[in-house]
Amino acid sequence: MNYQEVLLKHIRKQISDKQSINDEIASVLQISYDASHRRVSGKSKFSIDETMQLANHFNISLDGLFFRKEKVIIEKTIEVSNLAEMQLYFQNSATKITSLTRDSNTAMYYSAKDIPLFYFMDATIMSKFKAYVWLNLLNAETSKVTFENFVITESFLESMTKLKMAYERVEVKEIWNDTTINSSLQQILYFYEAGLLGFESANDLFDDLKNIINNIKKKCNNSNSKFSIFYNELVMLNNNLLFESKEKLTLFASYTLLGYFITENEESCQNVKRWFHRQIANSKSLKSSGIKEQQLFFNKAIRKIDFYRNQLNSQVDLMY
């Protein structure tokens, strides 16, 4: 197989008949017309870097062009072990999601094993707590610092806010179940019992979680909102995301706490899209269901928060 010809064939499909492929490639690669002509005519080869540049510019999936079905090219998010790397992670994620949501009709599917991180991307005590928890789980050194002595900068909060803004531009379809809220509740109790989280802060965090649940409920009842949440009682969720635009599908597959593999492999993404559609078909839409179904779901979440708060308060009562 002449891989260069395969790539050029797909580039030709992306440009109009009036455009010169030599001019387009010269512009993208910032090379001379003659150098571009040599590549188009097959007299010289694209380098790996040039191939990647062209694929990114023309939205061409390399694994769809060059590999058998069982092989997939992936990106991955950066590894995080400190606050600076986490800030860069949020910045990169905001840039990536913004690029995927330029089309106003883009939809995002989220399989919410945990409360989606977008809900923690603001200047609340919960956003600080989540950053603290993530770093504790990714870096043992953080566990030596109490939550109250943990500091995040203004620029860190700005990076979180940009990620939330990217999320709010897109049509959202989230799948939750009864356990989606559990890890956040358990984290509050764990760090309190470990002596790393104060009593007042813990209660403030429970209040913040209630605010998140109540805000989701309001979004469900906002007829102008592009937000939908589905309650699924059947499957274990996995924190995977799928973006769907007119041009392509992009899958973010979770592999660690904040780590994601990213692929635009058409076959894989289509399979995931079908999976999401099947799960949604087997779920209750909390936006279109009646008040009773909504109340059952959201009240159950509120009761869980109250249960964990009571556990915390009972421990304090035993001390006195």
Q: Does residue 14 share a domain with residue 133?
A: no
Q: Are residues 55 and 81 in the same domain?
A: no
The domain boundary residue, chosen from 60, 85, 109: 60
Whether 1 has a pLDDT exceeding 70, the answer reads no
In a domain, 39, yes or no: yes
Confidence band, pLDDT 50/70/90 cuts, at residue 68: low
CB environment 288-304: b (16+ within 10 A), e (fewer): eeeeeebeebbeebeeb
Does 320 have pLDDT greater than 60? Answer: no
* % of the chain with per-residue pLDDT over 90: 64
Residue 65 lies in a domain: no
My answer on whether 92 and 21 are in the same domain is no
Average pLDDT rounded to a whole number, residues 163-178: 92
User: What is the per-residue pLDDT for 5?
Assistant: 87
Return the percentage of the chain with pLDDT > 70, whole number.
93
The answer to the question of residue 122 being in a domain is yes
The pLDDT of residue 142: 65
pLDDT band at 105 (very low <50, low <70, confident <90, very high): confident
When pLDDT is averaged across residues 123-148 and rounded to a whole number, the result is 88
Report pLDDT digits (tens) over 221-259.
888 788 999 999 988 899 999 999 888 899 999 999 999
Are residues 186 and 102 part of one domain?
yes
Stated as kind and residue range, the H or E segment containing 86 is helix 83-100
Instruction: Report d(CA 274, CA 280) in Å as an integer.
Output: 10
CATH number for the domain including 151? Answer: 3.30.870
Average pLDDT over residues 134-140: 86
Residues 242 and 94 in one domain: yes
Quick: pLDDT tens for 288-308.
888 888 999 999 999 999 999
Other CB atoms within 10 Å distance of the CB of residue 4: 15
Residue 66 lies in a domain: no
Count of domains in the chain? 2
Higher local confidence (pLDDT), 197 or 138? 197
Q: Residue 131: pLDDT above 60?
A: yes
First to last CA, the chain: 78
Sheet holding 284-285, edge to edge: 75-76, 260-263, 249-254, 241-244, 107-111, 171-176, 227-231, 284-285
Hey, what's the torsion of the CAs at 122, 126, 127, 130, to 10 degrees?
-160
Kindly give the interhelix angle for 199-220 and 291-319, rounded to the nearest 10 degrees. 180
The DSSP H or E segment spanning 319 is helix 291-319
Tell me the H-state helices in 108-149: 125-138
Query: pLDDT digits over 80-96, tens only?
Result: 989 999 999 999 999 99
Within a domain: 69:
no
Same domain assignment for residues 94 and 156:
yes
pLDDT-wise least confident of 34-43, 45-54, 66-75, 97-106: 66-75
Name the pLDDT band for 194 (thresholds 50, 70, 90).
very high
Domain that holds residue 20: 3-60
Nearest to 200 by CA among 255, 147, 138, 254: 147
On the question of pLDDT at 159 being above 80, the answer is: yes
Token representation of residue 7: 């790539």
Please determine, for residue 100, whether its predicted confidence score (pLDDT) is greater than 70. yes
> Which pLDDT band, with edges at 50, 70 and 90, does 67 fall under?
low
Whether the pTM exceeds 0.85: the reply is no
Examine residue 256 and state whether it is found in any structural domain, yes or no.
Answer: yes
pLDDT value at 25 more than 90 = yes
- Model confidence at 127, pLDDT cuts 50, 70, 90, reads very high
State yes or no: pLDDT of 56 exceeds 70. yes
